[in-house]
Chains A and B, each alone.
Chain A
Amino acid sequence: MEFLKTGKEQSIMEKLEILTDAAKYDVACTSSGVERKGNGEQIGNCVKSGICHSFSGDGRCISLLKILLTNECVYDCKYCQNRCSNDIPRATFTPEEICTLTMEFYRRNYIEGLFLSSGIIRTPSFTMELISRTIWLLRNKYHFNGYIHVKAIPGADPELIRRTGFLADRMSVNLELPTAEGLRELAPNKHRKTILTPMRQIQNGITQNQNELALYRHAPKFVAGGQSTQMIIGATPENDFQIINVAEGLYQKFGLKRVFYSAFVNVTGDKALPALAGGPPLLREHRLYQADWLLRFYGFRAAELLDEKRPFFNVLLDPKEDWAVKHLEQFPIEINRAPLEQLLRVPGIGVKSARRIVLARRSATLGFADLKKLGVVLKRALYFITCSGKLMYPVKLEEDYIVRNLTDVQERVRLGTDGMSYRQMSLFDDGRFTGRITVQEKLQTAVGQL
């Protein structure tokens, strides 16, 4: 295979370091969605729920061997560490090296499979072919039966993407930035259209494959784990409303399994990029994920969570609490009666606890103590629910009151959202008491004169 060799031979350790470092900003590290038993001959199986094998120092899971095939790249995307104008050490794995690493790591139960992405060498099609050949080798020569996630390179030959799809469990095409304008500004070589084309192709491939599987049970599977994508948050001025709408569109129109959000980390220092003084916008990313879950599992629509007038998520309240305090007319909800869809809309009740409630209330009338055991977070839920017609405490169903109680003081201080500082109230908490407290004053306090 003709490879672009760097000047001197690098060791595997050096290559692994360079290519892991280059791949780490890719978010997707899930190994879920495919259930495949071992076949008794090859190494590997897949578990539907996915398995996390370790967690790195930033708290993200390490499930797959996440590497680039190469960090050589002809593109010059301003946010990307591997852009061609960036002066960094470059390295390229040979397909054999990737296969050996994957197999040896997998045997030792370090990883659940391989995540293979790549910079663009020469052309998208050339790169896609290298990726395709690598995982063909892994499947057929090294007999690997575990999880493989590969990137589809936008602009590559559709036939290559199709062929790769039959070897991989999950494919993803990165949307990179939520809007076409943002993409034009920061990634001059990429176009919205070329990104959406392979996405559509994979979607159609999956649908077609499902029809084939219905007819022939043993037909080869095409991207069995579905496809995902990711967006960078905070590099361009889009608001949360736009982002969440794009995500909803992707789920509905492109049948995506997951949309990942990646808080922007400024690694290149390009002048077109925002300087983020407070580090990456992690809270914003967190709120987007929360909203994403509401879209996928709780039956919410993007338009319910945000609108044009209020395009950003509340910093203090999570999106569900935020929705609930704005729709107090629908509360309180009776736990022993309400349908599952309504239970899911109560803050503090998740998908699992809602299901458990529905099952458990068939045989008993549930009280607040039972709810606690079932996994409901009463701290958040108590304002919105009744058990047998009773509230847990005599609380007011008022927006201000609930918001004040949901956001406790410590939380507000930690987030530093309102320029005030808080401390424990003391007896002498009064503006006039700034100096030292005299003995006389203490005495006065003791006898109740102050």
Chain B
Amino acid sequence: LERVGVQNASEATTDILDPAVVTALVRAALANVGSVFASGLLILLTVVFMLLEAPGMLAKLRAAFRLEAASEARVKRLFSSLNQYMRIKILTSLGTAVCIWIWLWFLGIDFAVLWAVLAFFLNFIPFVGAFLMAIPAVLMALVQTDLATTLLVAAGYLVVNTAIGSVLEPRVMGRGLGISTLAVFLSLLFWSWVLGTVGAFLSVPLTMALIIAFEASPQTRPIAVLLGPEVSPTESSGDE
């Protein structure tokens, strides 16, 4: 009975995912790993130089642009909110990866560590990442075990992503995020078009930075308000 009930789903899955396509994807991923770590070294060097200059950065900005107190506070707010966002995101991604790893290991799926690493990185991509991280592990479960286990794997991903992404994260972030949901989604599309994969990973912090920059000038403040969180009625009437 259960077999009959689930038959359609698996039929669709195997039709969509041609074995040849999957093989090609894995090959491409393998070829990419080398170039990723080559550019990783470049990024690390850049980070080191940036960190060397970081302590004097504010003084430099002050001298270069004759910063007023208000804009200086804005720069500080930008860095602290980016910092807070990245820290929370790293912790929640780590939590997601650990939960996924334990669950896959418990179910005996092959390469559980790999899927956990994948989950850690894809958790940085809003909305789409949660689906993307589940696909390879569910496929793996499908070819490796029976349908019941596959459904359990998919349910595990669903539960972990809902618990961490939709319940825990908003609660911890609070109003720190300050972007409307629609803007998060649109910025994901926009930044992944502009900057490729890196853009998808950085879409939320980039948009946060843009909003704070837009707030700086009266001409662009409307854009910041449109991209920002919902405005409470008292706030909107009190605005100049």
Is A bound to B? no
Which B positions have Cβ atoms within 8 angstroms of A?
none
